Copies of this chain bind each other. A is one copy, B any other.
Amino acid sequence: MSSPRWIVPFAEGSKEQRDLLGGKGANVAEMTRVLGADKVPGGFTITTEACVAYMAAGDAPDGLDEQVGTALAALEEQTGKRLGDAEDPLLVSVRSGARESMPGMLDTVLNLGLNDDSVEGLAARTENPRFAWDSYRRFVQMYANVVKGVPGERIEQEIAALKKDRGVKLDTELDVDALRALVETFKGIYREATGEDFPLDPREQLDGAIRAVFDSWTGERAVTYRRLNRIPDDWGTAVNVQRMVFGNKGETSGSGVAFSRDEVTGAPEPSGDFLPNAQGEDVVSGVRNTRDISELEEWLPEVYVELLDVLSRLEAHYLDMQDVEFTVEEGELFMLQTRDAKRPAQAAVRFAVDAVAEGLMDPRVALLTIDAEGLDALLHPTFDPSAEYAVLAKGVAASPGAAQGAIVFTADEAIAAEADGREVILVRPFTEAEDVGGFHAAKGILTSEGGKASHAALVARGMGRPAVTGASSLEIDLAAQTVRVGETTLGVGDHIAIDGSTGAITTEEVPVVEPEVSEAFLRVLEWADAARLLGVRANADSPEDAERARGFGAQGIGLCRTEHMFLGERQPLMAAVILAADRAGRDEALAELRPLQQEDFEGLFEAMIGLPVTIRLLDPPLHEFLPHKADVEKRLERARAEGSDEVGELQRTFDRVSALQETNPMLGTRGVRLGILYPEIYMMQVDAIFAASTAVHERTGTAPHLEIMIPLVDYERELDFMRRVVTERAQAAGLKHGDDYLVGTMIELPRACFLADQIAEFADFFSFGTNDLTQTALGFSRDDIEGKILGRYIETKILDRSPFETLDSPGVGQMLRMGAWLGRTTQADLKLGVCGEHGGDPDSIDFFHHSGIDYVSCSPYRVPVARVAAAQAAVRAANA
């Protein structure tokens, strides 16, 4: 009777066999297949099917023992060594390896095959008896503990007692005799705990270890982990048995790590380190000074040549730059591991361009080797990486780029400083809409509260201003105008520097490195544009932002937030609109705002000639344009005390501010609700837009592509109402729907996703506002959650990152798809965009690619990232 095949030697497997061989087994098999069986320490994998059969039977399945014997014999044959040999023993590691990496399982038994005889052989070959005995001691200890469950503390007690006895402190101070004694002691403990002698027969050791791996699959910790991570119990685990190689067998042995190209620049020569006569852990531990990989050429020229060859073959096979670990055992090169190399953006770009030039891969494949997110770093100045400085504090790397200047605490001071030509950093606990003028004027923003999705972070990224947020060790006292960090206290005018790419904060002057968009990067962007299907637009509110976005390749403006046009010097006018006693007063103030708005729009349209511009009508609650209630109250009290004649007006302002106060502004009187309550504000905006369009058309001969966007729509009738207002004003301005302008809406509320078919009756386009959709769908206020809850949620594994950073695809993502699908049931060619932070996030972009979205819109500085990410999504989809 022939039993199933329970074992696959490394040389016969491949990476596609993950289900059968587990992740680890499939990987080592793949490397063996690429490099040949003699370049990877040999071994075999006992399949997950064997584990499943073991679990079913409660014992090793028929034929497994024989097949282990056969595989072991083949390994001995291949290596010319025998397990337990007293001269030059074969030693093996035994490792578990499920389909997915799984904490809570038996991980590794090393040095299996050592016994009282073979330890001497190892000592002789390595000329290092201490190493040999220490290895034996560790093996017995590990075997007793992880295979047989002998309590670890029982063993540790003995080590501690022995150290005390010998008068030494460290394990490494124990000599060969002491280690010999420990092995004997451990064997005694083993006997006491298990009722059996410690197995000296290597085959018995091996069988014990294999069973222990199988048993660990049903251990309590593994079961719990699987339940939490929804891994089926019936997958089972594979067991990998692999020959151990030693880099410390003398002067022709050694260990090292290498990158197939320069790990910093990506230049086409390998980089790395090695150590002669040493094991892998010595290379990374930093105890001994490593040598540069280039010196390997002198020392072992043949090995060096072979390593270069191996690196090329690995690159060609894995189609990416590689990062390897290797060991040289008595002049023979063994590759222990290879993986795609983590590298900085410039190296990734360089590799991609070189690899294509070398014919290694085509541009579409090369695009996939780049971490799109990392490209952001290439677009901003940073602290010189070689600079040394004392870090004052660390915060969240909220908006990339380095900046320095004198501390100011208010937007007004920042604006004044800019007028004087002084460079300042705006420092605040958190920021609000009224601080935005200060963002323009300051070189950088620093806050003690809020995370990557706080107001400060969003606005700073949108403008490309460096920002560090949530630096919680900063105690900012606005009243006293001081920042305290531990012992240090800083005040207005003190120097401070921030790096928004790393979150570092310092009081020192730090040299800053300017970014450079390299030829290679431009090449990559060209490939990306050829490959991608998603359009990429930018969120921009000013001609400068629009020009920058266009420079970065934006194909239009996907979101122009008009509220920024009401701030700064316009704020008093907007406040007059809101404080007006009646419609007539409001109309008068609006009439003053109109020409200013028109001017803003003209600048924007000229910067985007030939491209579409999506303009969102006023969105935020009106109280954002008024002073704080507490401030007005104080001024009112003072005026009352002084009997000032300002009391009346201050009282009126106070009443209005109080009336506009909201418990949950996010869910309050904003968006289209404002448009319906005060149509005259939206009318003024629309009039200014149309007048600007006409003026630019006359001046340039080209009509702008206007897309008027109504925010926060819940009900189709809201959109119908506003669409009629827009249409009426357009007719008055002599503009034609379709040719001159479109009317669409933000889809940013869960209800709108559910009723998108009805809303689409009145929309020429949808733009998914995924920031607000995330807030409402999850009931998560961005401002309140990121600082307080996110850390705890990541710690407890409820989340792995902020839903404001990468779209929550199972929840918010499905709502978006529902909205997209329903919208297109009404209008098959409905234009669909995404504005909001997720539009610049590579993982989210991949999701949008699969959701029928036409374009994403992100901050100008993220446009290149989005172009590459969109291309990657398209290539991956085509490959799938």
- Cross-chain contact A779 with B676 (CB below 8 angstroms): no
Q: Is A332 an interface residue (CB 8 A)?
A: no
Residues of chain B within 8 A (CB-CB) of A715 are 798-799
- Cross-chain contact A779 with B810 (CB below 8 angstroms): no
Residues of chain B within 8 A (CB-CB) of A810 are 754-755
- Shortest CB–CB separation between residue A783 and chain B, in angstroms? 4
Residues of chain B within 8 A (CB-CB) of A772 are 779
A673 to B798, CA, bound (A): 11
A817 to B321, CA, bound (A): 51
Which residue of chain B lies nearest to A818 when distances are taken between CB atoms in the complex? Answer: B754
Residues of chain B within 8 A (CB-CB) of A168 are none
With A798-B676, A798-B721, A811-B751: A669-B778 Cβ-Cβ less than 8 Å: no
Q: 1/0 per position for A657-670, CB-CB distance to B under 8 A?
A: 00000111111110
> Interface segment, A2-10, A368-376, A482-490, A786-794?
A786-794
- Cross-chain contact B751 with A714 (CB below 8 angstroms): no
A793 to B717, CA, bound (A): 10
Partner of A677, one of B663, B754, B792: B792
Q: Is A814 an interface residue (CB 8 A)?
A: yes
- Shortest CB–CB separation between residue A726 and chain B, in angstroms? 16
A177 to B370, CA, bound (A): 98
- Cross-chain contact B776 with A779 (CB below 8 angstroms): yes
Which residue of chain B lies nearest to A630 when distances are taken between CB atoms in the complex? Answer: B630
Q: Is A276 an interface residue (CB 8 A)?
A: no
Q: 1/0 per position for A637-680, CB-CB distance to B under 8 A?
A: 00000000000000000000000001111111100010011000
Partner of A777, one of B751, B783, B788, B789: B751
- Cross-chain contact B777 with A811 (CB below 8 angstroms): no
Which residue of chain B lies nearest to A813 when distances are taken between CB atoms in the complex? Answer: B754
Q: Is A541 an interface residue (CB 8 A)?
A: no
A663 to B676, CA, bound (A): 24
Residues of chain B within 8 A (CB-CB) of A793 are 676
- Cross-chain contact A784 with B750 (CB below 8 angstroms): no
With A228-B717, A714-B811, A717-B228: A668-B785 Cβ-Cβ less than 8 Å: yes
Q: Is A434 an interface residue (CB 8 A)?
A: no
Q: Is A796 an interface residue (CB 8 A)?
A: yes
Which residue of chain B lies nearest to A677 when distances are taken between CB atoms in the complex? Answer: B792
- Cross-chain contact A815 with B750 (CB below 8 angstroms): yes
- Cross-chain contact B676 with A778 (CB below 8 angstroms): no
A131 to B676, CA, bound (A): 48
Partner of A778, one of B749, B789, B798: B749
Q: Is A718 an interface residue (CB 8 A)?
A: yes
- Shortest CB–CB separation between residue A790 and chain B, in angstroms? 11
A796-845 contacts to B (CB < 8 Å): 796-799, 808, 810-812, 814-815
Q: 1/0 per position for A122-135, CB-CB distance to B under 8 A?
A: 00000000000000
Residues of chain B within 8 A (CB-CB) of A778 are 714, 749-751
Indicate the member of A714, A750, A755, A792 with the most B CB atoms within 10 Å: A750
Q: Is A712 an interface residue (CB 8 A)?
A: yes
- Cross-chain contact B676 with A788 (CB below 8 angstroms): no
Which residue of chain B lies nearest to A791 when distances are taken between CB atoms in the complex? Answer: B677
Q: 1/0 per position for A714-730, CB-CB distance to B under 8 A?
A: 11011011000000000
A808 to B677, CA, bound (A): 21
A356 to B755, CA, bound (A): 44
Which residue of chain B lies nearest to A659 when distances are taken between CB atoms in the complex? Answer: B788
A720 to B224, CA, bound (A): 12
- Shortest CB–CB separation between residue A763 and chain B, in angstroms? 16
Q: Is A185 an interface residue (CB 8 A)?
A: no
- Cross-chain contact B712 with A676 (CB below 8 angstroms): no
Residues of chain B within 8 A (CB-CB) of A847 are none
With A755-B811, A777-B751: A783-B663 Cβ-Cβ less than 8 Å: yes
- Cross-chain contact B662 with A781 (CB below 8 angstroms): yes
- Cross-chain contact A789 with B664 (CB below 8 angstroms): no
- Shortest CB–CB separation between residue A855 and chain B, in angstroms? 24
Residues of chain B within 8 A (CB-CB) of A770 are none
Which residue of chain B lies nearest to A749 when distances are taken between CB atoms in the complex? Answer: B779
Partner of A669, one of B669, B677, B788, B799: B788
Indicate the member of A630, A785, A812 with the most B CB atoms within 10 Å: A785
- Cross-chain contact B717 with A789 (CB below 8 angstroms): no
Which residue of chain B lies nearest to A785 when distances are taken between CB atoms in the complex? Answer: B668
A808 to B755, CA, bound (A): 12
A754 to B778, CA, bound (A): 11
- Cross-chain contact B779 with A228 (CB below 8 angstroms): no
A858 to B792, CA, bound (A): 35
A781 to B814, CA, bound (A): 24
Residues of chain B within 8 A (CB-CB) of A720 are 228
Identify 10 new A-B residue pairs, CB closer than 8 A, beyond the known A228-B720, A714-B780.
A664-B666, A667-B776, A668-B788, A669-B789, A676-B796, A676-B798, A714-B779, A717-B798, A751-B777, A751-B778
Subset of 29 A-B contacts with CB under 8 Å: A228-B717, A662-B781, A662-B784, A663-B783, A664-B775, A664-B783, A666-B779, A667-B776, A667-B784, A667-B785, A668-B785, A669-B784, A669-B789, A676-B789, A676-B796, A677-B788, A714-B778, A714-B780, A714-B811, A715-B798, A715-B799, A750-B815, A751-B808, A751-B812, A755-B810, A772-B779, A776-B776, A776-B777, A776-B779
Residues of A that sit less than 8 Å from B by CB: 228, 630, 662-669, 673, 676-677, 712, 714-715, 717-718, 720-721, 748-751, 754-755, 772, 775-781, 783-785, 788-789, 792-793, 796-799, 808, 810-812, 814-815
